[in-house]
């Protein structure tokens, strides 16, 4: 049974495309710009800027605001966009149609806009949202383009100067990504595949992943497969396809028993894809196969689902892979961009790639060979008793770095501010199973009298799409995560699905808005990737209002809990910046990178939703973050010291 990564010899492959190495992956942003979604090719989210530091962070004020109020239907929807700043212009997505806007980064003036009316393609899109941003390509000789993937799964190239679609790219500037996409018999592509993350531009190749509907209760075991594809950046022509679900005769097909490869879908990459500038390799974090919590219709390990796959961007050939979960039935798909860095570990210079996960592990590999930096052991895990289900006898557990979240569930995890509260919590969970990490989902009304399995972290993490930020100078990796429980409960598919079982909805509670587990309920963790050890951990924010009142106890008995929210983080040469996330307070904190102590708190007009970024413009350093929620339109908020802005 196939378990570990399969490295292949690193060989030079002659490509018909001209290879133009992009920005280096391991040193953060350059020239004060933010040219890639994650800041740089390796998605470190690190900027070597120092104008804003501990001496003046408390003086940050709003320099300008840009509103998304007039950008399409449902203007109040939150926008998770992270803008780019290239050649003195900011680019971002806006509104439900995922329009593109160019903005003056010095004063917030709108320079141009573009939008596509996708009609029914938008209405049925599985990821109908403003998206997380755009991509940038240049030939280095004046042909500069902004690339956007729409909710209806079109890819559009826009002239960066004026926003007009680029003639010669696809058809009048547009590539229909449903063309040449694999499909299943009797399953339409429209409404089953889309995207929410920006495409990845590597030299003259654009690499595009895919996303599907949330797989809680899929209507069928049959679904569209989530292929990874490379396109010519100049013409939009399809260059290659990597099949995350293999076909007959291809590598990994034996891990899809009962020929389940022929009808199973998903296993795409909805998170951003990182790349190595020196080699042209892309690092693809894949998701689970159909469905998220029951896999009896797809027995076997199911390569290449929930894996980290290294692919040569010029050819589409797999270089190496590592399956992070065999036969994923926890919805712990890889949610975030892999992070690349060059670090000294145990006295050796190592080129690494680190994958953060929902389950609270960080998997770290040599990014060239795929060899784990620290041992990853196949460890026996609890097995299923759900009729028809198949579970792997082992799962790969990293020896280092230490987990950044609590894992598994026991009575010791229950909230216990007072003995009476602990007793209430014990009563609330009495009908559920508990166990270590990778304890599988179980039936509602199971024969043993239980009603599902309690799981930590929850099905949405742990970490999620917000990911982390890496300081390449120190090797410290900063991760925002949340600590909350899920009930992994299965109920019959019935008339709703042809699957035997789908996700049930159960949630133990002792008070409205209060998690059943001990705090902190949100946290920011610093891991030292040069040693694999914990550097520090702090709660993400203060205690939510009303916790003591909901529990009926003295507020003095409630410690600082943090919010049930995942922080969005950014690191510079001077400070760590962290918003509290979509469910947190409207605050951006400047944090001491070495200790986790708060240096300053900056009020925002609304909650941080997009990931913060930073850049220099006309000698001024700006921090920009997308905020939203509370019935207010989405906004981009630019901060500078004293609210100073360019003129």
Segment 45-59, tens digit of pLDDT = 999 999 999 999 999
Q: Region 358-365: what's the mean pLDDT? A: 98
pLDDT value at position 296?
Answer: 98
pLDDT tens for each residue of 449-499: 999 999 999 999 999 999 999 999 999 999 999 999 999 999 999 999 999
pLDDT value at position 19?
Answer: 38
Residue 608 predicted with pLDDT over 50: yes
Q: 3-state DSSP call for residue 258?
A: helix
Q: 3-state DSSP call for residue 634?
A: strand
Residues 187 and 135: beta-carbon distance below 8 Å: no
Residue 14 predicted with pLDDT over 70: no
What pTM does this model have?
A: 0.95
Q: What is the C-alpha separation between 419 and 425, in angstroms, rounded?
A: 10
Which DSSP helix (H) or strand (E) runs through 59? none
Give the whole-number percent of the chain exceeding pLDDT 70. 96
pLDDT value at position 32?
Answer: 96
47: Cα within 13 Å, side-chain hemisphere:
28
Omega before 210 cis (within 30°)? no
pLDDT value at position 127?
Answer: 83
Q: What angle is formed at CA 585 by the lines to CA 474 and CA 643, rounded to 5 degrees?
A: 70
pLDDT value at position 15?
Answer: 35
Residues 364 and 398: beta-carbon distance below 8 Å: yes
pLDDT value at position 330?
Answer: 98
Which residues, other chains included, contact 151 with Cβ-Cβ below 8 Å and sequence gap of 6+? 96, 97, 98, 118, 121, 122, 125, 127, 128, 129, 131, 194, 196
Q: Region 94-114: what's the mean pLDDT? A: 97
pLDDT-derived band at 13 (thresholds 50, 70, 90) equals very low
pLDDT tens for each residue of 369-428: 999 999 999 999 999 999 999 999 999 999 999 999 999 999 999 999 999 999 999 999
Residue extents of the structural domains in the chain: 46-641
Q: Region 283-301: what's the mean pLDDT? A: 98
pLDDT-derived band at 128 (thresholds 50, 70, 90) equals confident
Q: What is the C-alpha separation between 399 and 395, in angstroms, rounded?
A: 13
Q: Region 227-240: what's the mean pLDDT? A: 98
Q: Region 321-332: what's the mean pLDDT? A: 98
User: Quick one: DSSP state of residue 30?
Assistant: -
The arrangement of strands across the sheet holding 238-242 comes to 200-202, 205-208, 228-232, 238-242
Q: What is the C-alpha separation between 382 and 401, in angstroms, rounded?
A: 23
Number of Cβ atoms within 10 Å of the Cβ of 254? 14
pLDDT tens for each residue of 71-102: 877 777 899 999 999 999 999 999 999 999 99
pLDDT-derived band at 26 (thresholds 50, 70, 90) equals low
**Topology given in CATH for the domain delimited by 46-641:** Methanol Dehydrogenase; Chain A (2.140.10)
Residue 8 predicted with pLDDT over 90: no
| Paired tokens of 449 | 């009298």
Q: What is the mean pLDDT of the chain?
A: 94
């Amino acid at each position: 049974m196939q378990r570990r990564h399969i490295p292949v010899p690193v060989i030079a492959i002659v490509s018909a495309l001209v290879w133009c190495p992009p920005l280096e992956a391991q040193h953060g942003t350059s020239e004060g710009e933010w040219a890639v979604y994650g800041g740089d090719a390796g998605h470190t989210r690190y900027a070597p800027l120092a104008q804003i530091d501990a001496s003046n962070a408390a003086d940050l004020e709003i320099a300008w605001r840009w509103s998304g109020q007039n950008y399409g239907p449902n203007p109040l929807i939150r926008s998770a966009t992270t803008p780019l700043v290239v050649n003195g212009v900011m680019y971002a997505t806006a509104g439900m149609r995922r329009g593109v806007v160019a903005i003056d980064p010095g004063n917030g003036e709108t320079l141009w806009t573009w939008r596509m009316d996708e009609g029914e393609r938008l209405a049925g899109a599985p990821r109908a949202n403003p998206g997380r941003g755009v991509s940038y390509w240049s030939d280095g000789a004046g042909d500069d383009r902004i690339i956007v993937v729409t909710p209806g799964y079109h890819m559009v190239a826009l002239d960066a100067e004026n926003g007009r679609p680029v003639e010669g790219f696809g058809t009048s500037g547009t590539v229909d990504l449903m063309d040449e996409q694999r499909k299943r018999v009797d399953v339409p592509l429209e409404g089953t595949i889309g995207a929410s993350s920006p495409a990845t531009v590597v030299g003259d190749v654009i690499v595009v992943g895919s996303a599907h509907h949330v797989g809680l209760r899929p209507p069928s075991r049959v679904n569209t497969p989530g292929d990874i594809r490379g396109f010519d950046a100049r013409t939009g022509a399809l260059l290659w396809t990597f099949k995350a679900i293999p076909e007959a005769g291809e590598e990994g097909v034996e891990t899809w028993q009962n020929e389940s490869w022929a009808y199973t879908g998903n296993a795409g990459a909805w998170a951003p894809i990182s790349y190595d500038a020196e080699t042209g390799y892309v690092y693809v974090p894949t998701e689970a196969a159909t469905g998220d919590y029951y896999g009896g219709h797809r027995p076997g390990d199911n390569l290449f689902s929930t894996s980290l796959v290294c692919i040569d961007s010029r050819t589409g050939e797999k270089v190496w892979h590592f399956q992070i979960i065999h036969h994923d039935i926890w919805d712990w798909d890889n949610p975030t961009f892999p992070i690349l860095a060059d670090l000294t570990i145990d006295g050796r210079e190592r080129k690494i790639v680190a994958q953060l996960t929902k389950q609270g592990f960080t998997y770290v590999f040599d990014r060239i060979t795929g060899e784990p930096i620290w041992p990853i052991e196949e460890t026996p895990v609890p097995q299923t008793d759900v009729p028809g289900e198949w579970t792997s006898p082992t799962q790969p557990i990293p020896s280092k770095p230490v987990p950044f979240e609590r894992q598994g569930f026991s009575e010791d995890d229950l909230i216990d501010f007072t003995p009476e509260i602990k007793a209430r919590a014990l009563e609330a969970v009495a009908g559920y199973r508990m166990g270590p990490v990778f304890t599988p989902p179980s039936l509602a009304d199971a024969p043993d009298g239980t009603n599902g399995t309690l799981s930590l972290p929850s099905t949405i993490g742990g970490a999620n799409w917000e990911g982390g930020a890496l300081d390449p100078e120190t090797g410290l990796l900063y991760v925002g995560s949340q600590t909350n429980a899920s009930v992994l409960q299965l109920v019959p598919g019935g008339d709703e699905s042809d699957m035997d079982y789908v996700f049930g909805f159960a949630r133990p509670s002792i008070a409205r808005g209060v998690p059943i587990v001990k705090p902190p309920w949100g946290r920011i963790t610093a891991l030292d990737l040069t040693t694999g050890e914990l550097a520090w951990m702090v709660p993400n924010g203060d205690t939510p209002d009303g916790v003591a009142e909901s529990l009926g106890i003295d507020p003095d008995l409630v410690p600082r809990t943090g919010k049930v929210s995942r922080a969005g983080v950014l690191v510079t040469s001077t400070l760590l910046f962290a918003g509290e996330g979509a469910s947190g307070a409207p605050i951006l904190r400047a944090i001491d990178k070495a200790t986790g102590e708060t240096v300053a708190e900056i009020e925002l007009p609304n909650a941080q939703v997009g990931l913060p970024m930073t850049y220099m413009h006309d000698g001024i350093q700006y921090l920009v973050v997308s905020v939203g929620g509370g019935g207010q339109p989405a906004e981009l908020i630019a901060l500078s010291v004293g609210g100073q802005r360019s003129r």
